[in-house]
Amino acid sequence: MEAINACPHHGFDTWLLVSYFYDEMSSSMKQLLETMCGGDFMSKNPEEAMDFLSYVAEVSRGWDETEQRRSGKMKSQPNAFNAKVVGDFVGDQKAINAQLSQRIDSVENTLNKRMDGMQNDLSQKIDNLQYSISRLTNLNIVQEKGRFPSQPHQNPKGIHEVETHEGKSSQVRDVKALITLRSGKKVELPTPKPHVEEEEEEETKKREEIKVKKKDISERKETMIQQ
């Protein structure tokens, strides 16, 4: 209306202006206009219709301001709510990440301790095995050094002559040495048994004793079972 009043030289009639305004209104606005004026807007004269349009314009301007304030308030509320939701989610996610990090660290520490224990145990077993092998090797070397040659060398021939003869009651060969004196007389002297034969006899005795003990133990077991 201010624009119309500012340009009176256009020369538009009032009824023509009212007709223009009414025709350009939307159907919902026309319905609202008819409702506000009691359904007799078209029956008003041009001046009354123009005054009513001015009133509707003032009222609708207040509606727009109220709607804008309400819309801004509604927009700010979702933003605040969304900010709160996002903040809560971020806080919860940080707490979850911290718990996961603690659990991962705990699992890594447990695995490291177990691996260290397994490595120490394996190293100890390897050391024990190497020590046992070295002991066996040293024992074999000592035994080899304490043995006589498998093929002993023959004694050089001299004034001592060795001869053997079969015994009457056994097949054991007695070794005797013949010593020739200056007078030409020969004397027989028994020679001691070699060290190897003594060891073999001792081992044979030990085996016999072990057999006797085993036999005695088995007999005792049988006696206890029969009782």
Whether 166 shows a pLDDT value over 80: the answer reads: no
Give domain status of residue 122, yes or no: no
Question: Is the separation of the CB atoms in 82 and 29 below 8 Å?
Answer: no
16: containing domain? 2-80
Q: What does the pLDDT average to over 142-153? A: 53
Q: What does the pLDDT average to over 64-72? A: 61
Give domain status of residue 108, yes or no: no
Q: What does the pLDDT average to over 137-149? A: 64
Alpha carbon separation from 151 to 6, 62, 84, 140, 154 (Å, rounded): 148, 134, 103, 20, 9
Give domain status of residue 210, yes or no: no
Whether 30 shows a pLDDT value over 70: the answer reads: yes
pTM of this prediction exceeds 0.75: no
Which pLDDT belongs to residue 3? 55
Give domain status of residue 214, yes or no: no
Give domain status of residue 179, yes or no: yes
Give domain status of residue 73, yes or no: yes
Total domains, the chain: 2
Whether 209 shows a pLDDT value over 70: the answer reads: yes
Give domain status of residue 107, yes or no: no
Give domain status of residue 117, yes or no: no
